[in-house]
Amino acid sequence: MITAHEIRKKYLEFFKSKGHAVIPSASLIPENDPSVLFTTAGMHPLVPYLLGQKHPLGNRLTDVQKCVRTGDIDEVGDYSHHTFFEMLGNWSLGDSSDPNGIGQAGYFKHEAIEWSYEFLTSPEWLGLDKNRIAVSVFQGDSDAPFDDEAFAIWKKLGIPEERIAKLPKKNNWWGPAGETGPCGPDTEMFYWVGDPAQVPESFNDDSPLWLEVWNDVFMQYNKTKSGEFEPLSQKNVDTGMGLERTTAVVNGFNDNYKTELFVPIIERIEMLSFKKYDDYVKEMRIIADHLKASVFILGDEKGIVPSNTGQGYVLRRLIRRAVRYGKQLGIKAFTSDVGEVVIQIYKDVYPELSKNKDFVLSNLSQEEEKFEKTLEHGLKEFDKGVSPFVLFTTYGFPLEMTKELAQEKGISIDEDAFYEELKHHQDLSRTASAGMFKGGLADAGDETKKLHTATHLLLQALKDVLQENIMQKGSNITSERLRFDFNHGTKLTDEEKKQVEDIVNEKIKADLPMNRVLMKKEDAEKTGASHAFGDKYGDEVSVYYIGDSLETAYSKEFCGGPHVERTGVLGHFKITKEEAVSAGVRRIKAILE
């Protein structure tokens, strides 16, 4: 058996031996990226560096990044889909020499593919059977040619041509995240999880027994506004391998839920329900997955709580879906009990979970209690003859429960009508949120840069006015406005808001320069630079400061960008709203006129 902990350690050791700097996992809540609700891949925290900014630790990076993906929530329940997962990743920021002399030069396809294969098959590392590996490459189209380079590399490594699938864009192309930006072909690695004695001669990506284990993305093109694909000036490598799936594959499991990352959770659900996993596979998988994701969202340092909007809505949906399936197993008041098991599994890898344990468990229990009351209310409305769709959208009452009640009372439910109404509702929702979930490359446009820079001034102005140790608790910046969360117990008075506005506008009028310096973390902390104390940083950090020198700067902060060069271009700063987010956390929304 190779444990998940050993795989994490081996992965980082392997890429460290190839000249990569190990960086810590970033928050699950993306900073300054309004295009996604959560960090869905290891590349999100590295966007400024993928777009050309120099990383403090050089051009070769590796990490284990915690991620949440919400697009597959309805598919959770099979053996491999998860809402929360850990992504093992390695990056090359540019395929040429390092102009700053930090770390080693970047690399591209040859190294990325050869190292992927070495880590998967070498007995020293994962030791997977070479005969059970197949790969896919981009077949080419009118936008970009066949990736003959990747094909040739795999062939040289000994992969038979029959096991190298040439697939279209929908299979082997990444990006761009929006309408324009970096993109390129990828190559995916698959492992046969069926009978080792019956490995097919050729690769068929439609077979579920060929399980994808790794993906190497080659960002080598830029899609322009005219729709053309031109060569990218900085070519990057972005790779990802899911820890949960890899742990199962390496240990010969065809079910991710049979690894040590899930077994203790499943065992607790079995104990609480007096039922066996093999008899209630789907229900127990959903409960285990959803409550694990909920624990990680609640345990993040950004203070997300269940609500009806944004990240809070996803969190609420996850907890309530887990409770719904818990009811099918006959268990109640169980979410905090299961949540405690999750914390025990991960406490050594992600200490923030133990640190925020009380907050995590209390919110799980509170949301479970609220949903129980919602279900009671829904039952009363059902008896009044309210339609299944209204019960679902207004009261959060699951269709499955409505169907069960209807059957008990001998009433038939028109599911087609329900789903027709639901589809219309979802289409309207998608239209309303168009542009928000485009996939994750943060906007680096001029207006966003201005608002990001203004956020630095806002933080320091709040410290000046409130005379407290104000810290950032969250940030969301679009090209139209900034949203900034900070620790403070009471509502700001009109006078306090005006003082903050006046200070920011005074610093804008002074036309101060924005500068950046790379420093060792311990030296940066000594300068008094602001940073999110719950976040993890590498040994070297970027400190952005507003002023002529670091010593005399008005604002100094650990940050990754993007920023303007001088404050004078910002315009007029205006606070449009100030409100509570949660206990002890306030939110300011502001614009530049």
CATH assignment of the domain containing 502: 3.30.980.10
Burial string for 42-63 (b: 16+ CB within 10 Å, else e) reads: bbbbbbbbbbebbbbbbbbbbb
Report yes or no: 296 and 82 within 8 Å, Cβ to Cβ.
Answer: no
Domain assignment of residue 574, given as a range: 446-592
Q: Report yes or no on 312 lying in a domain.
A: yes
Is 121 found in the same domain as 180? yes
The CA-atom distances, in angstroms, between 45 and each of 224, 537, 556 are: 23, 12, 20
Q: What pLDDT sits at residue 16? A: 96
- 145/349 Cα distance (integer angstroms): 42
291 neighbors 364 (Cβ within 8 angstroms): yes
Q: Do the domain assignments include residue 521?
A: yes
Same domain, 179 and 328: no
Q: Are 116 and 100 members of one domain?
A: yes
- Within-domain flag for 165: yes
Number of domains in the chain: 4
Q: Which amino acid is at 291?
A: L
- On whether both 308 and 410 belong to a single domain, the answer is no
* 60 plus 34 within the same structural domain: yes
Return d(Cα 288, Cα 321) in angstroms, integer: 11
Q: Tell me if 116 sits within 8 A of 15, measured CB to CB.
A: no
Assess if residue 378 is contained within a domain: no
Q: What is the DSSP letter of 393?
A: H
The answer to whether residues 147 and 38 belong to one domain is yes
Cβ atoms of residues 375 and 401 within 8 Å: yes
- 108/201 same-domain check: yes
- Whether residue 439 is contained in a domain is answered as no
Mean pLDDT for each 10-residue chunk of the chain (593 residues)? 95 96 91 75 82 87 93 79 94 69 76 97 96 96 94 97 95 80 92 92 86 93 87 90 95 93 98 97 96 96 82 89 91 96 96 95 95 81 79 70 76 78 59 39 69 92 89 80 88 94 95 88 86 66 89 88 86 92 85 92
Query: Is 244 within the bounds of a domain?
Result: yes
Q: CB neighbours (10 Å) of residue 568? A: 14
Q: Count CB-CB contacts under 10 A for residue 153.
A: 21
- CA–CA gap between residue 261 and residue 293 (Å, rounded): 13
Planar angle of CA 502, 504, 510, nearest 5 degrees: 100
Give the CATH number for residue 220. 3.30.930.10
- Same domain, yes or no, for 237 and 179? yes
Rounded Cα distance, 28 and 296, in Å? 8
Same-domain status, 48 and 87: yes
Instruction: Among 254, 285, 301, give the residue marking a domain's end.
Output: 254
Burial class of 280 by CB neighbour count within 10 A (0 to 12, 13 to 18, 19+): middle
Query: Is there a domain that residue 437 lies in?
Result: no
Same domain, 76 and 213: yes
The verdict on 22 and 156 lying in the same domain is: yes
What is the pLDDT, as a whole number, of residue 524? Answer: 85
Residue 222 has a pLDDT of: 85
The answer to the question of residue 376 being in a domain is no
Task: Output the six-digit token pair for 349.
Answer: 């890898």
| Residues 157 and 291 grouped into a single domain | no
Quick count: other Cβ atoms within 10 Å of Cβ 588? 22
Q: How many CB atoms lie within 10 A of CB 403?
A: 16
- Supply φ then ψ for residue 240, to 5 degrees: -150, 140
